[in-house]
Structure 1
């Protein structure tokens, strides 16, 4: 019989690449991870890992087992969800991860509704960049997370995660009030302006670089900021221009003009595959969708 916890370690090894990274993700020692993987090999009756010095790669049998592990882990999530539904009531801890602009706008009404309708829930919110949410879900540090991407830089689906669309927003070019309207392509009009860019490696930075490249230039960074309130304050202070999604521009400061672009940012609710039927996850999804539906109503 194969141990599900060891299957999860093998699956994470295929994703993370090293035993040290798996150990860090699970708060184990590398030695403990190696011992668990060796035990899984004995259970499987086939070598699952090839060791060359300090490097470890999966054998053909290991790759097959990883593929089946995704099915097993999803089945375990569905089982937990079914048991929670049979227990009745929506109770217990619910760990939610969301990016800053969603924490300020979408989360408050959703949390109020969840607290009112399901007082037995223990709500815990963590502010995270979307790039960190998938790992937090896979490692059971979150139960529900908000992910986003841009239509110009779509993100490939994660085979271990599932979810539903939540929100699609206009992306604006934020410029200081008084900036001449160049007409035509708004991005080309500010090609020589300084920019307030997000940190390299974030989705916002990647989307900005892609759009500027498509417009024929590379943005010249004057400042780097990941909080959109800071970004808009710097734009208002005539420190540069930036791209800002609608969720972060609900109440822009004086001195900022927002120019709509055809680009869209898309947000989705994510959870581990198989967990959609868990009462707490379903309740959270419903509350977030209700909050999103009323967000831009005037």
Structure 2
């Protein structure tokens, strides 16, 4: 009989590529991961891994087993959702991931709404960039999360992860000392989010679409800080609507652009019907400003 816990390790190896990365993602030691995968190979009776030096690749049988593992784990999530429905009332922890501007502008109101409906449900929020959500969900560090995508940076489907349709859609703005478009700032210094984030990729692609590569002066993830830097002449930036709510300093002009950021909820495949996940989604929808729902 194949052990589900070991199957999870194989699935994570398929996503992360190295035993060290799997160990870091799941808070195991590399030797423990390697030992458990060796046990899984003995259980399977066929080679699942090919080792070349420090690199490990999955064999065709390993890839096939990962495909079946995704289906098994999805069925287990559905079973957990059905059991949760059978209990009386929602209680216990609900681990929520959210990106910073949503955490500031929407999540507090959503948590208040959630608490009023389900007072025994213990919401626990962690800030996480959308690029890290899939790994955190698969590792069980999160139960549900807010993720976003930009017109110029669509997100790829992650195995084992499901997402809803857009919960809300925000317009994007160019923040600069005076009104204008992106193309007018080919010679301006730019303020961007850190490398590896969707916000960073979005700004790069927007500038490239306007015919130039931006000259990056500052790399800052917090939009309040970005606007403060724009206000004192340190550069220009692209900012979504939530990044401007209640924090537009004097000296900053916001020019609306024909670009949008769309936010969805993400969770493990099979968990869509889990009452706690559905309760958070309902609470979030209740507090989203009407003008963002149909943008």
TM-score range for the pair, normalised by the shorter chain length? over 0.9
Q: Distance in 1 between matches of 2:153 and 2:123?
A: 32
Q: Distance in 2 between matches of 1:58 and 1:207?
A: 33
Aligned to 1:79: 79
Match of 1:156, SS? Answer: coil
Q: Does 1:191 align with 2:192?
A: no
Comparing 189-198 with 207-216, greater Cα deviation is found at 189-198
Partner of 1:37: 37
Aligned to 1:91: 91
SS at match of 1:115: helix
In the alignment, is residue 263 of structure 1 matched against residue 259 of structure 2? yes
285, 288, 297: which one aligns with 2:284: 288
Which of 211, 221, 225 in structure 2 is aligned with 1:230?
Answer: 225
Query: Is 1:65 aligned to 2:65, yes or no?
Result: yes
**Post-superposition shift, 1:110?**
0.5
Number of aligned positions between the proteins: 291
Shift of 1:293: 4.1
Q: What is the alpha-carbon distance in structure 1 between the residues aligned to residue 184 and residue 5 of structure 2?
A: 55
Post-superposition offset of 1:295: 7.0
Counterparts of 1:1-298 in structure 2, within 5 Å, are: 1-164=1-164, 165-176=166-177, 179=178, 181=179, 186-251=181-246, 252-294=248-290
What do you get for the CA RMSD once the two structures are aligned?
1.4
SS in 2 for 1:96: strand
Deviations, residues 52-96 of structure 1 (Å, cap 9, x unaligned): 232211111001001111111111111111111111211110011
Q: Distance in 1 between matches of 2:88 and 2:76?
A: 19
- Stretches of structure 2 that go unaligned for 5 or more consecutive residues are none
* Kept in 1: contact 2:14–2:66 (CA 8 A): yes
Deviation track 1:174-202 (CA, whole Å, cap 9, x = no partner) reads 111xx2x55xxx11112211211111221
Deviations along 1:206-265, one digit per CA (max 9) or x if unpaired, are 111101011111111222211000001111112211000011112212221110111111
The answer to whether the 8 A contact 1:106-1:295 is kept is no
Deviation at 1:272, TM superposition (A): 0.4
Rounded Cα–Cα distance in structure 1 between residues aligned with 2:266 and 2:291: 20
Mapped to 2, the partners of 1:295 and 1:4 lie a distance apart of 45
Cα distance in 2 for partners of 1:48, 1:293 equals: 50
SS at match of 1:88: coil
Question: In structure 1, the residue corresponding to 2:119 is in which secondary structure?
Answer: coil
Alpha carbons of 1:149 and 1:296: their partners in 2 closer, same or farther (altered >3 Å)? closer
Partners of 2:54 and 2:292 lie apart in 1 by 54
CA distance in 2, matches of 1:59, 1:86: 41
Unaligned runs of 5+ in 1: none
Alpha-carbon distance in 2 for matches of 1:174, 1:123? 34
The normalised TM-score by structure 2 is: 0.95
Q: CA deviation at 1:13?
A: 0.5
Mapped partners of 1:56, 1:234: distance in 2: 45
40 and 193 in structure 1: CA distance in 2 versus 1, 3 angstrom threshold: same
Q: Give the Å deviation of 1:36.
A: 1.3
TM-score of the superposition, structure 1-length normalised? 0.94
